[in-house]
């Protein structure tokens, strides 16, 4: 039995739009997008997700190096629109609880006395792994995975990688810009240079691309392929499964040469 959807005005829904493919929206997310008065849309949400809706669209996404609203300004807009009696959907790429400032926006809404609800979405780390046929866990090879942000942002340092464990799959989100530094830190921490690694760009979208290489060579392979953001990086023994489940023609040539020479 499904829970009844509360569509009253003066409320904010913080909704995960998934990795980009509209068919990967949850039913609840699709219904809220259709019923909203206002959509506050992040940069990583493609227009196909909300094409044709009746809502007013407000683009509030943040892109590195480009002008954008501050987080406080976005929170103020959410509160103001809700107080105006609007049904407000804050639409975020992936899942709103995974590096998407859910906690900050919830605190602002609660301090203002505005009702809210969070709606999960398919995170890009799940979509990227499954798009290229890689299991994040696999009996006998990986019994756990850890998800880290690949950038510090706003003056924060890069995340500390966990100690190397052959049974752990490491997933880095938003890592392309700092990939060289992250890989160097992993190698310094004892990660094997030949550890399988894959970078997946625009997972689930028509422009999806992937690069596979030994960990040490991944930054050069990604740079050579000119892989675009957003991209997800998967590091660990399970990453070698890509060579077994996907034809080489789906991987950029630079990484094919690396894989066939090192990971076969």
Catalytic annotation on 6?
A: no
Backbone angles phi, psi at 110, to 5 degrees: -65, -40
Give the single-character DSSP code of 134. Answer: -
**Cis (ω within 30 of 0) for the bond into 230?**
yes
264, with CB counted inside 10 A (0-12, 13-18, 19+), is exposed
Catalytic annotation on 174?
A: yes
User: Pick the catalytic residue: 21, 92, 95, 174?
Assistant: 174
Catalytic annotation on 11?
A: no
CA 129 remoteness from chain centre: 11
User: Pick the catalytic residue: 37, 62, 138, 246?
Assistant: 62
User: Pick the catalytic residue: 11, 21, 38, 42?
Assistant: 42
> Buried b / exposed e across 240-254, counting CB within 10 Å, b at 16+?
bbbbeebeeeebbeb
Active site residues: 42, 62, 174
């Amino acid at each position: 039995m499904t829970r009844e959807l509360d569509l009253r005005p003066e409320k904010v829904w913080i909704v995960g739009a998934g990795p980009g493919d509209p068919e990967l929206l949850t039913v609840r997310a699709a219904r809220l997008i259709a019923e909203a008065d206002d959509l506050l849309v992040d940069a990583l949400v493609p227009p196909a997700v909300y094409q044709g809706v009746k809502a007013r669209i407000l683009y509030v996404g943040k892109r590195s190096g480009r002008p954008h609203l501050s987080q406080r300004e976005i929170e103020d807009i959410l509160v103001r629109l809700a107080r105006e009696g609007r049904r407000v959907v804050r639409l975020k790429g992936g899942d709103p609880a995974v590096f998407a400032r859910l906690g900050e926006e919830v605190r602002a809404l609660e301090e203002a006395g505005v009702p809210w609800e969070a709606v999960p979405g398919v995170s890009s780390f799940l979509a990227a792994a499954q798009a290229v046929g890689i299991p994040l866990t696999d009996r006998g090879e990986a019994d756990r995975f850890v998800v880290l942000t690949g950038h510090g942002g706003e003056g924060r340092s890069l995340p500390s990688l966990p100690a190397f464990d052959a049974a752990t799959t490491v997933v880095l989100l938003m890592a392309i810009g700092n990939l060289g530094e992250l890989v160097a830190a992993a190698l310094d921490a004892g990660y094997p240079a030949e550890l399988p690694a894959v970078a997946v760009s625009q997972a689930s979208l028509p422009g999806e691309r992937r690069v596979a290489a030994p960990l040490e060579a991944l930054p050069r392979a990604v740079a050579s392929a000119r892989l675009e953001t957003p991209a997800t990086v998967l590091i660990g023994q399970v990453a070698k499964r890509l060579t077994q489940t996907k034809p080489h023609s789906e991987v950029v040539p630079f990484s094919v040469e690396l894989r066939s020479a090192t990971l076969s």
